[in-house]
Amino acid sequence: MDQTVEDFLSQNPQVRQWAESVRGRCETLKQWNARRTFILRNMDLLGLGPEPGLVPEPGPKLDRLLALSMVWANHIFMGCRYPDTVMDRVLKMAEGIEVGDVPQFTTRDQLMSRSNKRSLPLPTEDDSCVKRPKPEPSDSSSAPETITAQKSGPSPQAPALLQPFFNRLYKAVCWRLVSAGGLGPNLEHFEVLRSCVESCKEVLSCVLVPLKDLTGLPPARAHQDGHVCELRCQGTYLGTGYGRDEAAARAMASKEALKVFQGRKVLVKICRRKFKGREVDDLMLLDDQPRAQGFPPALSYPFTPGYSQESGS
């Protein structure tokens, strides 16, 4: 295949020059040769040509092909995973392309499988999410307390009501990441997440708190400069990030939030986490992987009566 590509490019120097113009700055020669083969091989499948001596015309089809080539290269050389429909498509487009000495990666599914074999079972949904039993008041005086408790937390029906929206957001984010070539170091994580949320007719809420204003931190961090950012959408927690300034904190929180969208699906759940030193029920957006670790403390909590969230984008 490599020799066929070289023969074609040697006979069509204009195509070689065009191909070099779409090479990524950080791509090694090995990575680029493989991706270049993927691009040239699949031009005919998308109706792009090229005819001998002619370079392909710019447009949506070419943009899609270049994005799919990055998806395939990121999967082969970096171990990235994308939605099943995207993976099936790029792997089919790459049939017959041989890449020697491909790096070996351990997937999350493999890690979790190994962990399950040598440790106790991971918490189930019943363990990680809250199922609060109905209180049985002993007298009429407990009724107002029950009503107050219900008002100070998310509705039990909230996950089911919000799930259709986050399914739409999942599709928007996945296609945006495919077009951008994945979660690369040059990706504007905050702008990607915000634009996808706005495309779904919603607003991304951003809460920023100076690190020095937080309580309960380890002594080494208690007096450090910097900010912590928490992102929410429709009252649902998406991610938390730390940075030396507000922009860096937003970017890190957005990167953590976007990682959730790399699973096969996203799920809205009511989970237990800390807010101002106490345990609360919070709406959280999670992927479909089991979780054994705890969640970061909440910086904001939109389910407390009288709570006013200061947000920005």
Tens digits of residue pLDDT in 243-298:
888 888 899 999 899 988 887 888 999 988 888 888 899 999 998 877 666 788 88
109 belongs to a structural domain: no
Residues 6+ apart with CB under 8 A from 20: none
200 and 272: one domain?
Answer: yes
Residues 6+ apart with CB under 8 A from 199: 172
312 belongs to a structural domain: no
d(CA 64, CA 139): 66
Domain of 235, in residue numbers: 124-131+152-287
142 belongs to a structural domain: no
Tens digits of residue pLDDT in 127-172:
434 444 444 444 433 333 333 333 478 988 889 989 989 999 998 8
Beta bridge partners of residue 228, listed in sequence order: 209, 242
Domains held by the chain: number: 2
pLDDT at 305: 55
d(CA 119, CA 134): 33
Residues 6+ apart with CB under 8 A from 5: 33, 36, 37, 40
pLDDT at 22: 85
Tokens of 21: 């113009």
**pTM of whole model > 0.75?**
no
92 SS3 class: helix
294 belongs to a structural domain: no
180 and 89: one domain?
Answer: no
- 50 prior amide bond cis, ω within 30: yes
103 belongs to a structural domain: no
Strand 266-275 and strand 278-287: the pairing is antiparallel
Tens digits of residue pLDDT in 67-91:
899 999 888 887 787 888 888 898 9
CATH of the domain at 279: 3.30.160.20
Tokens of 35: 């991706």
Residue corresponding to tokens 């969230």: 309
Tens digits of residue pLDDT in 214-245:
765 655 555 567 888 999 998 899 999 888 88
Residues 6+ apart with CB under 8 A from 111: none
Residue corresponding to tokens 């590509």: 5
Supply the Cα-derived Rg of the chain in whole angstroms.
24
106 belongs to a structural domain: no
